[in-house]
Amino acid sequence: MEMEMVSGRPKTLLPVPTHYCPGCGHGVIHRLVAEVIDGLGIREKTVVVAPVGCAVLLYNYFDVDAYEAAHGRAPAIATGCKRVNPELVVFTYQGDGDFAAIGTAEAVHVAARGEKITTIFVNNAIYGMTGGQMAPTTLLGQKTTTTTSGRASETAGFPIRMSEMIATLPGAAYVARVSVSSPKNVAQAKMAVRKAFETQIKGLGYSLVEFLSQCPTNWHMTPVESVRWVEEQMVPYYPLGEFKVPKEE
Amino acid sequence: MTEKKFMAGNEAIAEAAVQAGCRCYFGYPITPQNEIGEYMSWRLPQVGGCFIQAESEVAAIYMVFGAAGAGARVMTSSSSPGISLMQEGISYIAAAELPCVIVNMMRAGPGLGGIQPSQSDYFQATKGGGHGDYHMLVLAPHTAQEAVNLTMLAFDLADKYRNPVMILGDGNIGQMMEPVEFKSPEKPFVARKEWIVTGAKNRPRNIIKTLFLDPVILEKRNLAMGAKLREAVKNEVRFEPYLIEDADIVIAAYGTVARIAKTAIKILREKGLKVGLLRPISLYPFPYQAFAQTAERVKSILVVEMSLGQMVEDVKLAVCGKSRVHFYCRVGGMVPSYDEIVAEVEKIAKEAK
Amino acid sequence: MGKVVIDEEFCKGCTLCINACPQHLLRTAKRVSKTSYHPAELVDPEGKCTGCGLCALVCPDAAIQVYREKKAGVKEK
């Protein structure tokens, strides 16, 4: 029987083995974004702004023009780029330190300004690159290298729900939280990414897709255990869904 | 435009930037330079440019990074505490070899300090400020017209060396109103840069980055930066010798203090003292040679600064003991009067007898 | 009906595909790949693979190519 390939590596994702740990969510998220870029045919006018974090080297994997940002400042760099060339499709790719800690002012204001850029925000409830410290998104009771007895609200406060927060801003046109913990969630996540990029292309405002992602290494789990942890522990606190959809005239 | 306009230094700098082709400005309000951003907020839309009042100086400097990487002529401005906030970004801009102009209208520090003029950011501007091996080219105007000229030059130098360039002024330079005229640039700016981020169409992707984990590669980049700076040191020294040919005592001062020194010199000359001024215009590269040559002839150099002693170290380095280096300062926002400088010079002249 | 090809240059043996396959046709190989992982491999003696692509959906390394029998007039993206 004659077979045809129905699924393979997207063109925008370079055939370069990644440095990400086995099972890491970044790999899936990169692939989804690359698939959307291919599907929309926008590779030649897409610019990515890389974060500081495990994804700092993402410009080795995406075949698009790129900036490497200082920690948390990707939205500001993206703003500068997009204002010079509004016809480009500019997206930032950021982790929880980048977006929910050091860069939270930039995160709020890029949305407040309604900048026509997109943020892919990878929430894995931990600081991966630096070895597993607490993130602003770390859950209460979660053990990290800086909350060895489990995060306690009295000393370390409460986790931040970035999507809900950003969705309150009028300049944010599309805000969604997704996960890559199962095939169904991956498929839905891709649709959200596509909607986010379309929001930008239509000039409707700022778009944000928050990905709940697994970090098997720093959670000290196997990849299969880690996707289960996303579904059982993260989703109850960080519900999936669309928090803002554009009102198109 | 060639007619003279009566403008405040801050506004003149902003207009000069626009004349030089600057089409992006990102900044945050801080006294005493708010007029720069305010001017840009209405002037840039007139020329199809982009003005953003950013959420902080930190955000502003990274917007500069983004716009510069996209090929635009871009400027930011701030004052001492805000410039401190920008230091990381300046290091990144220099590391990525991006051109931009940064204006610092110095105010008294440290900390929140005061809003009156000072020159206490000289070290920060010329010796680094941000981490790593890099330098900004630093230009210090002493009149509003010179601020116009140096701002336009700054954009050219930034593109020539792919490096941030700083205009170092103070609140006095920014606020005072003087007649200025704007001459169109000799060469209109054309963005012809292969490395800018414009979308990877018909070419391999461009990556604007500063992370190089392989020390072999990073050393090469640092050495290339050093070579580039040595070229700038060779070609971009600027200074004004003022009545130094017959001087026994030479004052060293820049910016506002240089203006005051010129008045003091007039008074001293009327009293029969042969005094001159060697005024650095480029603070980086510093006119070491000019000072060294001057030190061969004069007995004393009086460095006057609005700081506890920053440029004086470069003067001493240049002079290398060949001449006595004296120092006089006012700090905390106090500005020396010409009387004080006259008195200092007279003191030196008396000691020399 | 379908088959999958797992590229061992990219597979890190994370087993997410094994976990996702509704027909349980994937398993961890005993051998070690050039990149020092135990890659996943398709074991489908009865030709049960439908080319559903769920494995490729969850693969973090874009290591899986999914093939499906060509059906006239049906296009997949």
The 10s digit of each residue's pLDDT in B76-91 is 999 999 999 999 999 9
Beta-bridged to residue A206, according to DSSP, are: A172
| CB-closest option in A4, A26, A216 to C67 | A4
Nearest to B303 by CA among B268, B330, B272: B330
d(CA B314, CA B321): 12
B95 is a domain residue = yes
Determine the number of helices (DSSP H) and then strands (DSSP E) in chain C: 2, 4
The pLDDT assigned to B218 comes to 98
C16 is a domain residue = yes
The pLDDT assigned to A4 comes to 93
Cβ-defined contact of A67 to B74 (cutoff 8 Å): no
pLDDT range class, residue B184, cuts 50, 70, 90? confident
For chain A, give the percent of residues with pLDDT over 90.
Answer: 98
DSSP state of A147: B
**Under 8 Å between Cβ of A192 and A185:** no
- Backbone torsions φ then ψ of B343, nearest 5 degrees: -60, -40
d(CA A73, CA A103): 6
pLDDT tens profile A79-89: 999 999 999 99
The total number of structural domains that make up chain B:
2
Contact residues on chain C for A7, CB-CB shorter than 8 A: 53, 56-57, 64-66, 76
pLDDT tens profile B146-174: 999 999 999 999 999 999 999 999 999 99
pLDDT tens profile A180-230: 999 999 999 999 999 999 999 999 999 999 999 999 999 999 999 999 999
- C77 to chain A, closest Cα gap in Å: 7
> Which of B22, B47, B65, B76 has the most A C-beta neighbours within 10 Å, making it the best mutation to test the interface with A?
B65
- B198 to chain A, closest Cα gap in Å: 7
| CB-closest option in C9, C54, C69 to A1 | C69
pLDDT range class, residue B252, cuts 50, 70, 90? very high
| CB-closest option in C60, C70, C76 to A28 | C60
Pinpoint the alpha helices (H) of C1-77.
16-20, 54-58
Is the Cβ of C26 closer than 8 Å to some Cβ of chain A? no
CATH number at residue C27: 3.30.70.20
The total number of structural domains that make up chain C:
1
B225 is a domain residue = yes
The pLDDT assigned to C55 comes to 98
CATH number at residue B326: 3.40.50.920
- The answer to whether residue B191 scores a pLDDT higher than 60 is no
Are chains B and A touching, using the cut-off of 8 Å on CB pairs and a minimum of 3 such pairs? yes
pLDDT range class, residue A249, cuts 50, 70, 90? very low
The pLDDT assigned to B352 comes to 81
Beta-bridged to residue A135, according to DSSP, are: none
Task: Work out the average pLDDT over B113-141.
Answer: 97
The pLDDT assigned to A82 comes to 98
- A186 to chain C, closest Cα gap in Å: 6
Taking the domains of chain A in order of start, what are their residue ranges?
25-244
- B226's CB contacts (< 8 A; 6+ apart) are B133
B197 is a domain residue = no
Contact residues on chain A for B92, CB-CB shorter than 8 A: 70
Cβ-defined contact of B199 to A46 (cutoff 8 Å): yes
Cβ-defined contact of B199 to A85 (cutoff 8 Å): yes
C58 is a domain residue = yes
d(CA B10, CA B25): 14
d(CA B91, CA B318): 27
Same domain, B224 and B243: no
The pLDDT assigned to B353 comes to 74
CATH of the domain spanning A25-244, picked from 3.40.50.620, 3.40.50.880, 3.40.367.20, 3.40.50.970 = 3.40.50.970
- The answer to whether residue B215 scores a pLDDT higher than 80 is yes
Mean pLDDT of chain B: 96
The pLDDT assigned to B6 comes to 96
The pLDDT assigned to A247 comes to 82
Task: Give the structural domain span for B288.
Answer: 239-352
Are chains B and C touching, using the cut-off of 8 Å on CB pairs and a minimum of 3 such pairs? no
Here the tokens at position A181 are 């913990």
Top pLDDT among B338 and B185 is at B338
Contact residues on chain A for B201, CB-CB shorter than 8 A: 44-45
Same domain, B151 and B247: no
pLDDT range class, residue B237, cuts 50, 70, 90? very high
pLDDT tens profile A95-127: 999 999 999 999 999 999 999 999 999 999 999
Are chains A and C touching, using the cut-off of 8 Å on CB pairs and a minimum of 3 such pairs? yes
pLDDT tens profile B324-334: 999 999 999 99
The pLDDT assigned to C74 comes to 55
The pLDDT assigned to B185 comes to 77
- C3 to chain A, closest Cα gap in Å: 9
- B204 to chain A, closest Cα gap in Å: 8
Same domain, B176 and B116: yes
Is the Cβ of A49 closer than 8 Å to some Cβ of chain B? yes
pLDDT range class, residue C70, cuts 50, 70, 90? confident
pLDDT range class, residue B187, cuts 50, 70, 90? confident
| CB-closest option in B62, B88, B198 to A77 | B62
Same domain, B25 and B102: yes
Task: Work out the average pLDDT over B223-239.
Answer: 97
Cβ-defined contact of C62 to A13 (cutoff 8 Å): yes
- Backbone torsions φ then ψ of B104, nearest 5 degrees: -115, 110
pLDDT range class, residue B23, cuts 50, 70, 90? very high
Cβ-defined contact of C57 to A222 (cutoff 8 Å): no
**Under 8 Å between Cβ of A123 and A137:** yes
pLDDT range class, residue A56, cuts 50, 70, 90? very high
Nearest to A69 by CA among A108, A107, A20: A107
Task: Give the structural domain span for C63.
Answer: 2-68
Same domain, B26 and B172: yes
* Residue that has been written with the tokens 């040595």 in this structure: B230
d(CA A183, CA C56): 9
pLDDT tens profile A130-175: 999 999 999 999 999 999 999 999 999 999 999 999 999 999 999 9
Is the Cβ of A17 closer than 8 Å to some Cβ of chain C? yes
Contact residues on chain A for C9, CB-CB shorter than 8 A: 17
